[in-house]
Structure 1
Amino acid sequence: MALRAVLKSSAGALLESCLKARSCGSASLSGPRAGCVAGVFAALPPVRQYARGAKTVKKTVPQSQLSDLPPTMLKMDYSAVPLAQTTDDVVKRLLSLELGCHTDKLKLKTEQLIAKVQRDENDHSSVEVRVAILTARIRNYQEHLQKHPKDKANKRRMLMAIDRRKKHLKNLRLVHYEAFERVCEQLGITYTFPPEYYRWATRRWLAKKAFCIKVFKEVQKQKAEKRLQMKQSVASKETEAAKAQ
């Protein structure tokens, strides 16, 4: 009986000391360490680390080739209809580009580019017209790929159109150079000359090329030294001849 009473009294004292330590630690906890009373440490409160918000990077949207088309312009199918010009505003809005799709706008842009380079009003199949059509198509593919860079099918179509336009421009440059310059100026095309030959840049080829360049520079250096020696010898001979006279 005496042992039970001693154990109960010691357990009660330990429980009271724990409660006091907890209350003391929660009241006086201000730093990274917790207070301790009678050898009992107070538990640290849970630390919540919230994730920082990701920085939003503003993407620069390139200007579209269709941005210069006014929304009040009529669609291509209704621009030549005289009745469409005299209708009320609601019908004009339905027939205009404001409610038109992307295909209607692309048709009008293609017609504008064709009008810049065509030879006459009835010209619809010359090399200049084909270059204008391919230019509008290529720019449309480029704008699409900037928004959807993983679209491999349209990327392949764009590369095929670029190769076809290069072939037309090359033939036009050889046959009619003035028309070639006018087409490049009107459509804003920068023509780059293709390389003379294509070669895979292997490690062996790069090492050989670097070695050849090094040898060429060394040979040029030796030639320059020989020229300098010859000039000095000629100058010394001229001075000796002048002294002899």
Structure 2
Amino acid sequence: MFTSLALRGALKSASIVLRESGIISRLNGTTPGLPLKSGACLSHLIARPANIGTGSFSIQPVRNYARAARKRKPVFQSQLSDLPPTMLKMDYAVVPLAQTTDDLVKRILTLELASHSEKLRLKKEQLIAKVQRDESDRSSTEVKIALLTVRIRNYQEHLHKHAKDKANKRRMLMAIDSRKKMLKHLRMTRYDTFERVCQELDITYTFPPEYYRRITRRWLTKKALCIKVFKEVQKQKAELRKKIIKSSHTQADQPKITAAVPQ
């Protein structure tokens, strides 16, 4: 079975070479051309006649296919880029001996060789320290907003590299909705704290729409009909207004006829 397949492939390749060589020689005008079957393509070959008298030729493959230029993604600014690599980790920041160790140990204790989760943990503590009410505050609305902000930005950085990750995209949208609810509650109860939190965490608050409605095909059709009727009514009113203005102008142009009073 394998030998028959190999023989069949060898015969097929030999026939293709013979057919192409006949075409090339026919183009050069040295030998009579061989018949060409429909569907044969020589776009990947270039013939260079070396010795036309002897009938030999050289074939050079061409690999310069047209490729679409790939668009480079813009560089995403990570929220962890402002953490210097010489900063100590959270567990060793309060240890005085960590400042006097040699360089090799200090590389291990600093953020130079730290993992992503350790850097993220330090960033959470930095944002919490900006908005917390006191040093022991870990459960207020401001602290929860700070934690959600770090999580949302981490999801955004991940989705910039892996755009097809639907699960993390769903988690990011859920976190955004939770933060919107907390910001709305904070804005209605304590507006000064709301402004301070948005300024410290660099959050742009967008107001929600006043009216929510599920978009259906029936609702879209009804809306289009109402818009069409409204435009038609406005058009009729404009025509009626023009007629009224025109009639008033004609009445003003007519001369006033005073009736003769008998004496």
TM-score by length of 2: 0.67
Q: Are 1:129 and 2:143 counterparts?
A: yes
Q: Are 1:165 and 2:179 counterparts?
A: yes
Displacement after TM superposition at 1:117 (Å):
1.8
* Alignment partner, residue 95 of structure 2: 81
Q: Are 1:208 and 2:222 counterparts?
A: yes
**What are the within-5 Å matches in structure 2 for residues 93-104 of structure 1?**
93-104=107-118
Alignment partners' CA distance in 1, 2:64 and 2:153: 42
* Alignment partner, residue 61 of structure 2: 48
Q: What amino acid maps onto 2:212 in structure 1?
A: Y
Deviations 1:145-193 (A, max 9, x none): 2212232332232222122112211211221122222222222222233
Alpha-carbon distance change, 94 to 223 in structure 1, aligned in 2, over 3 angstroms: same
Q: What amino acid maps onto 2:194 in structure 1?
A: F
Sequence identity (%): 61
Q: Are 1:218 and 2:247 counterparts?
A: no
Displacement after TM superposition at 1:136 (Å):
0.3
* Alignment partner, residue 4 of structure 1: none
Displacement after TM superposition at 1:98 (Å):
0.4
Q: 2:30 aligns with which of 32, 35, 50?
A: 35
Alignment partners' CA distance in 2, 1:76 and 1:230: 81
Q: Structure 1: which 5+ runs fail to align?
A: 1-24
Alignment partners' CA distance in 2, 1:159 and 1:40: 68
* Alignment partner, residue 179 of structure 1: 193
Q: What amino acid maps onto 2:30 in structure 1?
A: G
Would the aligned equivalents of 1:34 and 1:43 in 2 still touch at CA under 8 Å? Answer: no
* Alignment partner, residue 90 of structure 1: 104
Alignment partners' CA distance in 1, 2:219 and 2:28: 66
Displacement after TM superposition at 1:140 (Å):
0.4
Higher relative contact order (CA 8 A, sep 6+): 1
Would the aligned equivalents of 2:85 and 2:110 in 1 still touch at CA under 8 Å? Answer: yes
* Alignment partner, residue 73 of structure 2: 59
Q: What amino acid maps onto 2:232 in structure 1?
A: E
Displacement after TM superposition at 1:238 (Å):
8.1
* Alignment partner, residue 167 of structure 2: 153
Q: 1:197 aligns with which of 212, 217, 221?
A: 212
Alignment partners' CA distance in 2, 1:73 and 1:238: 88
Alignment partners' CA distance in 2, 1:126 and 1:85: 34
Q: How many aligned positions are there?
A: 214
Deviations 1:61-83 (A, max 9, x none): 31111111111111111112222
Q: What amino acid maps onto 1:49 in structure 2?
A: V
Q: What amino acid maps onto 1:138 in structure 2?
A: I
Q: Give 3-state SS (helix, strand or coil) of 1:216's partner.
A: helix
* Alignment partner, residue 110 of structure 1: 124
Alignment partners' CA distance in 2, 1:106 and 1:34: 74
Q: Structure 2: which 5+ runs fail to align?
A: 1-20, 35-54, 259-263
Would the aligned equivalents of 2:87 and 2:111 in 1 still touch at CA under 8 Å? Answer: yes
Give RMSD over aligned pairs. Answer: 3.4
Displacement after TM superposition at 1:91 (Å):
2.4
Larger Rg: 1
Q: Give 3-state SS (helix, strand or coil) of 1:99's partner.
A: coil
Alpha-carbon distance change, 83 to 238 in structure 1, aligned in 2, over 3 angstroms: farther
Q: Give 3-state SS (helix, strand or coil) of 1:77's partner.
A: helix
Would the aligned equivalents of 2:88 and 2:111 in 1 still touch at CA under 8 Å? Answer: yes
